[in-house]
């Protein structure tokens, strides 16, 4: 057809225009996007794909020969394939069920009721996702541990104390803490995109209220529920810090076994387990992405279902029952989400019901008198902040670049999408292991040996963990931007790259700021790869410090956890504020 | 399969009901302090195509939603087929609804969409469900589309599926809420003819909501013009067009010149062609510079011996196509008032030309046949037959 002709003409016109303006920078700007793509690809290859590949090599190569020995050893070991993989999948399945159960009523409340603070509550569902996993573990110890607030309450009521840790139940509830809000978010979004007209049409065609819900609303929510469940399964399948802290040896997942293999310097076994786990995770993710693509029909201009006031003008029996359900759910939410954090803070300032700062005093003493091998609080805070700043410097440009690229229309975009989102499906342990084996231990190339320090590797791991969140916050608003805006800018003489800087980024700036805040929070809270890379060195961070205390001393663990919570919250706020001011 | 005997089957087996009349009296809807409907009254005869037209936010959709049972009125009554609808849920009203957004169930095929209402009522005339679906899809000109996904259809096709779905259980009343607004102009024209033909064929009482006055005039048996939560005027399209009862109706339906003025005397301007029993008043339109003769005065037919006396303030209107335009000061014909004016702007519309003229300081729009062209700045004479001047308001 006329495609090539038009393209050639357009190129000629562009060249003529560039020549007429006599401006070489125009040509350079036209190259900016491809260059950006290249740099982003190289960074990803270096920080993620190469290290992860070295892990896989460890699994199939022994003494420089391709034998598949370690992998075969693990795959034929009934203990690993049956017991470890089985338990990992089992706890992930239960966690998924519990998360859906806890998350669905939240979507109902957020999508169908109007009340003060609804929007805030909707945004708050994002918070558990960036809370450090060890923080949640510390909170669970403070709540459900032998000396936790639950037992305090029980003994005050004259009831016998319970010992809930370590237990499978604790792991499941902690996983629900993370993933139920995720379910709530995706299902709320789906519920809000149900056309009220469709429900009303069903009613006018003879369906009762309940029937219309079943026939029209439920089928439109199911894909979202499945999405939430699939993501929850992938995340909890690869969960590490929670089972490590709350499950102990009895309830160890595959990640915990990878970690202990690495501590015993059995890299072949660690790598083989990592291959096994990543294989399962990636297959699930691929299945999910395929399913999502089929569901991608987007609807615009629908009239959202009208939200009912939470406090109605008049009360009927049905309204009372519904409000009672909301209240009951609120109690459960408070128990699962607020109690651990509150208990943690309380435990850090109390001993047997008496308020004291002993725990913080202990941390200060440890700082001044601790032995060299012991974890000290001050370096942990400093390390965390330095790594967070460095992570931001890498993850933000990388994330924005990937966000810009994934919203362009070009052939093979799905591949960019998939490759850039793969880090979400590969666990921090595996990335950490790869960075350790690939970069920290060194690479031989061109007759030189390249090595990086543990600190650099930690930043790399954090950047890999953080940048998908930047992509996730930047890409959707970019995608929603009116194309006419971009076209207007181009018609007014801006090059494609200038248009990104002058029009698109300023318009999606809130997304960029949110992405930056997430990147910082993720970096500060990252535990999985940090603990692999910080082993024995001076590069431990706050989450690693918390984990060292958990299970040994509740006071210092919760005090360190409280410091971690405060620093994470402060960093989050600072980034949002500074970002807001920068935009002007 | 089949309809549940319980609450889901509120309409019972009485499918294929006779078309129902509608009576709406003093309908009120208030949301807190804002009033959406401020006492709406109208009747729709069985089998009639009745249209509610008005600007967005006027309350026409709210009225429709009260008929469907989606909205609870805060006052007044709605009767369908002679029964009060107070407390009757939407599923028990026997009403078909089509929305602007089509609102097709995205998780069902076209056929399943059309068949949905048949889960709660047996197909009329003893046909099977599949036969009924095929029949309806043929009616809306989409035979063989039953297995398609709604997403794969164009906007016009989706809207026809929505219509078929609403008609399938043979409702006694069809409610159409801006069903064409999302479609392009040409498709809209074609589809509204089709909708009207289907409505006639089925003999179904229809209440149609639109903001498009042309659409309202072209398809309806009768039209109610809604403004600000109230009905301004109800009547046949021609009646509303020729004899608007209020300033709003005069300005809203079609192109119009709406002028205010004060009556200065009787019969000074123009000839004496007023109809029997009527006389002519001279309307002094403010803003018109008083020049020589009666060039600032418009003749207005008023009831002989009626209430219009010198000093009364009137709002009158003249349709642009009723104004005769002549070059220079050429004669405009016996019995017509001759208004000297200058052409300020011309719009060629194909079958006619719209001229915006300056009549001594007041803007007057006129339409002439497409074959004649006028230049901007050209002096013309506008001929107005007093019979074409309508009084719409009087103080």
pLDDT at B26 exceeding the cut of 70: yes
Tens of pLDDT along chain A (584 residues)? Answer: 445 555 555 555 555 555 545 455 556 666 777 787 788 888 888 888 888 888 888 888 877 777 777 888 878 888 887 888 899 999 999 999 999 999 999 999 999 999 988 888 887 887 787 788 888 888 888 888 887 888 888 888 888 888 887 889 889 999 999 899 999 988 998 898 888 999 999 999 999 999 999 999 999 899 889 988 988 998 899 888 889 888 877 888 888 888 888 888 888 888 888 888 888 888 887 777 777 666 655 555 567 888 888 888 888 888 899 999 999 999 999 888 888 889 888 888 887 777 888 888 888 888 777 776 677 888 888 889 999 999 999 999 889 888 888 777 666 677 777 777 777 778 888 888 888 887 777 766 666 767 777 788 899 899 988 988 888 888 888 888 877 787 777 777 777 777 777 888 888 888 888 888 889 988 998 888 888 888 666 788 888 888 888 767 778 888 888 989 888 888 878 887 777 665 53
The whole-number pLDDT of residue B268 equals 44
Count CB pairs under 8 A between chains A and B: 89
Residue reference for tokens 């038009």:
A6
Q: How confident is the model at residue B121 (pLDDT cuts 50, 70, 90)?
A: confident
The conformation of residue B373, written as its DSSP 8-state character, comes to -
pLDDT above 50 (res B87): yes
Cα–Cα distances in angstroms (integers) from residue B383 to residues B270, B325, B328, B346, B369, in the given order? 10, 6, 12, 18, 15
User: What is the nearest CA distance from B297 to chain A, expressed in angstroms?
Assistant: 51
The chain-wide mean pLDDT, for chain B, equals 84
Q: Is the pLDDT of residue B14 over 50?
A: no
* Cβ–Cβ under 8 Å, residues B142 and B109: no
- Domain boundaries of chain B, sorted by first residue: 7-252, 257-394
Question: Would you call A201 and B101 a contact, using CB atoms and an 8 Å cutoff?
Answer: no
In the predicted model, is pLDDT for residue B5 greater than 50?
Answer: no
How many other C-beta atoms can be found within 10 angstroms of the C-beta atom of residue A428?
Answer: 25
Q: What is the pLDDT of residues B141-152, one digit of tens each?
A: 999 999 999 989
Q: Which residues of B touch A203 (CB under 8 A)?
A: 69-70, 89-91
- The percentage of chain B sitting over the pLDDT mark of 70, rounded to a whole number, equals 86
Q: What is the pLDDT of residue A569?
A: 85
Q: Is the pLDDT of residue B7 over 80?
A: no
What is the radius of gyration, based on Cα positions, of chain B? 26
A215–chain B Cβ distance below 8 A for any pair? yes
Could you write out the DSSP letters of every residue in A538-566? Answer: S---HHHHHHHHTTT-HHHHHHHHHHHHH
Which phi and psi (to 5°) does residue B338 adopt?
-105, 115
Determine how β-strand B49-53 pairs with β-strand B206-210.
Answer: parallel
pLDDT at B217 > cutoff 60: yes
B269 to chain A nearest CA, in Å? 55
Of B170, B89, B88, B80, which Cα lies nearest the Cα of B122? B170
- Kindly report the nearest CA distance between residue B116 and chain A, in angstroms: 7
Which residues of B are less than 8 Å from A197 in CB distance? Answer: 99-103
Q: From CA A153, how far away is CA A160, in angstroms rounded?
A: 10
Q: Where are the alpha helices (DSSP H) in A239-295?
A: 241-247, 254-263, 267-294
pLDDT of residue B134: 94
Which residues of A fall within a CB distance of 8 Å from B91?
Answer: 203-208, 212
Overall average pLDDT of the B235-254 stretch = 92
Confidence band for B272, pLDDT divided at 50, 70 and 90: very low
pLDDT at A233: 92
Rg (CA), chain A: 26
Of B91, B100, B101, the CB nearest to A208: B91
| pLDDT at position B289 | 44
Q: Is the pLDDT of residue B375 over 70?
A: yes
Q: Is the peptide bond before A51 cis (omega within 30 degrees of 0)?
A: no
User: Are the beta carbons of B119 and A200 separated by less than 8 Å?
Assistant: no
**How far, in Å, CA of B11 to CA of B83, rounded?**
14
For residue B324, the cross-strand partners are B383
Residue with tokens 């409340």: A109
* Torsion (CA) A20, A25, A31, A37 in degrees, nearest 10: -150
- pLDDT band at B1, cuts 50/70/90? very low
Residue B97 to residue A215, Cβ atoms within 8 A: no
CA distance B195 to B193: 5
For residues A516 and A466, is the Cβ–Cβ distance under 8 A? Answer: no
CATH topology of domain B257-394: OB fold (Dihydrolipoamide Acetyltransferase, E2P) (2.40.50)
A35, containing H or E segment: helix A32-44
How confident is the model at residue B177, as a pLDDT?
93
Q: Assign B276 a pLDDT band (cuts: 50, 70, 90).
A: very low
Q: How confident is the model at residue B189, as a pLDDT?
A: 87
Asked if the Cβ–Cβ distance from A204 to B151 is below 8 Å, we say no
d(CA B238, CA B236): 6
Half-sphere exposure of A131 (CA within 13 A, CB side): 26
Contact yes or no for A198 and B166 at CB 8 A: no
* Cross-chain CB nearest to A203 (options B9, B91, B101): B91
Q: Is the CATH number 3.90.1150.10 carried by domain B7-252?
A: no
Token output for B371? 């074959």
* Residue-wise pLDDT tens digits, B350-361: 888 999 998 877
DSSP class of residue B92 equals G
Burial of A139 (0-12, 13-18, 19+ CB in 10 A): buried
Residues of B in contact with A200 (CB under 8 A): 68, 70, 90, 97, 99, 103
Residue B89 to residue A200, Cβ atoms within 8 A: no
B8:A211 CB<8 A: yes
Mean pLDDT of B157-164: 93
In the numeric block, which tokens belong to residue B208? Answer: 């149609």
Enumerate residues 6+ apart whose C-beta is below 8 A from A162. A150, A151, A154
Mean pLDDT value of segment B161-188: 90
ipTM over 0.90: no
pLDDT score recorded for residue A125: 82
Give the whole-angstrom CA distance, residue B301 versus residue B275. 8
Q: Which of A200, A202, A206 to mutate to test the interface with B (most CBs of B within 10 A)?
A: A206
Residues of B in Cβ contact (< 8 Å) with A215: 105, 116
CA angle B60, B65, B68 (to 5 degrees): 135
Q: How far apart are CA B315 and CA B226, in angstroms?
A: 20
Interface check for B90 against chain A (CB to CB < 8 A): the answer is yes
Look at residues B79, B1, B63 and name the one whose alpha carbon lies nearest to residue B27.
Answer: B63
Whether residue A209 lies within 8 A of chain B, CB to CB, comes out as: yes
Q: Please give the Cα distance from A82 to A88 (Å, whole number).
A: 10
Task: Give the pLDDT of residue A295.
Answer: 61
Maximum mean pLDDT: which of A24-28, A126-130, B189-193, B330-334: B189-193
Q: Given pLDDT bands bounded at 50, 70 and 90, which one contains residue B338?
A: confident
Report the helix count and the strand count for chain B, using DSSP H and E: 8, 20
Segment B5-21 mean pLDDT: 51
* Interface residue B12 vs chain A (CB under 8 A): no
């Amino acid at each position: 057809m006329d495609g090539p002709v038009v393209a050639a003409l357009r190129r000629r016109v562009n060249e003529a225009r560039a020549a007429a303006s006599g401006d070489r920078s125009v040509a350079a700007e036209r190259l900016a996007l491809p260059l950006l793509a290249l740099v982003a690809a190289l960074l990803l290859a270096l920080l993620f794909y190469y290290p992860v590949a070295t892990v896989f090599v460890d699994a199939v190569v022994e003494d420089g020969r391709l034998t598949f020995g370690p992998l075969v050893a693990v795959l034929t070991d009934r203990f690993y394939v049956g017991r470890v993989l089985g338990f990992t999948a089992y706890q992930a399945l239960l966690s998924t069920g519990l998360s859906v159960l806890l998350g669905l009523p939240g979507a109902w409340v957020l999508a169908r009721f109007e009340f003060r603070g609804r929007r805030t509550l909707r945004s708050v569902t994002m918070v558990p996702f960036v809370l450090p996993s060890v923080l949640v573990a510390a909170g669970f110890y403070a709540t459900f541990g032998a000396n936790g607030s639950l037992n305090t309450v029980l003994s005050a009521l004259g009831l016998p104390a319970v010992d809930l840790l370590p237990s499978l139940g604790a792991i499941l509830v902690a996983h629900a803490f993370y993933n139920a809000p995720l379910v709530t978010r995706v299902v709320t979004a789906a519920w809000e995109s149900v056309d009220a007209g469709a429900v009303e049409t069903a009613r006018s065609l003879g369906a009762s209220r309940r029937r219309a819900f079943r026939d029209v609303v439920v089928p439109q929510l199911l894909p979202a529920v499945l999405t939430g469940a699939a993501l929850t399964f992938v995340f909890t399948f690869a969960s590490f810090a929670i089972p490590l802290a709350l499950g102990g040896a009895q309830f160890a997942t595959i990640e915990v076994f990878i970690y202990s293999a690495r501590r015993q310097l059995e890299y072949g076994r660690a790598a083989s387990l990592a291959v096994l786990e990543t294989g399962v995770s990636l297959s699930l993710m691929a299945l999910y992405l395929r399913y999502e693509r089929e569901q991608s029909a987007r609807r615009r201009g629908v009239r959202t279902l009208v939200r009912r006031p939470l406090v109605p003008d008049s009360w009927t029996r049905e309204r009372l029952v519904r409000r009672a359900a909301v209240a009951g759910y609120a109690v459960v939410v408070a128990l699962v989400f607020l109690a651990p954090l509150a208990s943690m803070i309380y435990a850090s300032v109390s001993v047997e019901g008496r308020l004291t700062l002993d725990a913080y005093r202990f941390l200060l003493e440890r700082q001044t008198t601790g032995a060299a091998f012991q974890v000290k609080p001050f370096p942990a805070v400093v390390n965390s902040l330095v790594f967070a700043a460095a992570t931001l410097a890498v993850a933000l440009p990388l994330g924005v670049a990937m966000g810009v690229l994934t919203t362009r229309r070009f052939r093979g975009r799905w591949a960019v999408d998939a490759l850039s989102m793969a880090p979400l499906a590969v666990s921090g342990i595996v990335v950490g292991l790869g960075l350790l084996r690939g970069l920290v231990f060194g690479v031989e190339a061109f007759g030189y040996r390249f090595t990086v320090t543990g600190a650099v590797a930690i930043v790399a791991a954090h950047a890999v963990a953080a940048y998908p969140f930047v992509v996730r916050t930047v890409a959707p608003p970019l995608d929603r931007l009116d194309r006419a805006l971009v076209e207007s800018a181009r018609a007014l003489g801006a090059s494609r790259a200038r248009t990104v800087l002058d029009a698109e980024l300023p318009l999606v700036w809130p997304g960029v700021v949110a992405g930056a805040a997430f990147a910082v929070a993720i970096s500060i809270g990252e535990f999985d790869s940090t603990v692999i890379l910080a082993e024995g060195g001076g590069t431990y961070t706050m989450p690693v410090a918390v984990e060292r205390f958990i299970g040994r001393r509740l006071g210092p663990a919760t005090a360190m956890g409280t410091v971690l919570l405060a620093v994470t919250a402060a960093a989050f706020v600072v980034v949002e504020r500074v970002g807001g001011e920068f935009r002007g | 399969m089949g309809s549940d005997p319980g609450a889901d089957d509120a309409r019972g087996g009485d499918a294929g009901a006779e078309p129902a009349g509608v009576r709406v009296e003093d309908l009120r809807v208030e949301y807190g302090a804002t009033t959406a409907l401020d006492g709406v009254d109208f009747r729709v005869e069985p089998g009639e195509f009745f249209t509610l037209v008005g600007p967005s936010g006027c309350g026409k959709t709210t009225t429709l939603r009260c008929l469907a049972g989606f909205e609870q009125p805060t006052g007044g009554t709605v009767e369908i087929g002679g029964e009060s609808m107070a407390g009757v849920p939407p599923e028990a009203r026997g009403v078909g609804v089509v929305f602007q957004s089509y609102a097709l169930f995205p998780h069902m095929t076209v056929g399943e969409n059309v068949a949905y209402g048949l889960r709660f009522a047996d197909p009329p005339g003893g046909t099977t469900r599949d036969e009924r679906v095929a029949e309806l899809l043929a009616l809306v000109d989409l035979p063989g589309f039953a297995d398609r996904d709604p997403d794969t259809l164009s906007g016009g096709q989706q809207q026809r599926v929505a219509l078929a779905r609403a008609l399938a259980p043979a409702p006694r009343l069809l409610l159409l809420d801006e069903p064409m607004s999302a479609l392009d102009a040409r498709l809209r024209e074609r589809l509204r003819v089709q909708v009207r033909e289907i409505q006639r064929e089925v003999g179904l009482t229809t209440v149609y909501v639109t903001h498009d006055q042309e659409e309202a005039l072209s398809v309806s048996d009768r039209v109610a013009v809604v403004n600000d939560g109230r009905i301004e005027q109800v009547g046949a399209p021609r009646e509303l067009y020729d004899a608007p009862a209020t300033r709003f109706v005069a300005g809203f339906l079609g192109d119009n010149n709406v002028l205010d003025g004060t009556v200065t005397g009787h019969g000074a301007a123009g000839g004496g062609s007023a109809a029997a029993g009527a006389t002519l008043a001279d309307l002094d339109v403010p803003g018109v510079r008083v020049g020589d003769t009666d060039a600032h005065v418009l003749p207005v037919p008023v009831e002989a011996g009626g209430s219009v006396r010198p000093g009364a303030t009137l709002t009158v209107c003249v349709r642009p196509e009723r104004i005769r335009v002549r070059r220079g000061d050429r004669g405009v014909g016996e019995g017509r008032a001759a208004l000297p004016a200058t052409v300020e702007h011309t719009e060629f519309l194909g079958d006619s030309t719209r001229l915006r003229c300056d009549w001594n300081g007041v803007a007057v729009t006129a339409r002439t046949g497409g074959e004649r062209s006028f230049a901007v700045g050209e002096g013309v004479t506008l001929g107005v037959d007093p019979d074409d001047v309508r009084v719409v308001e009087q103080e």
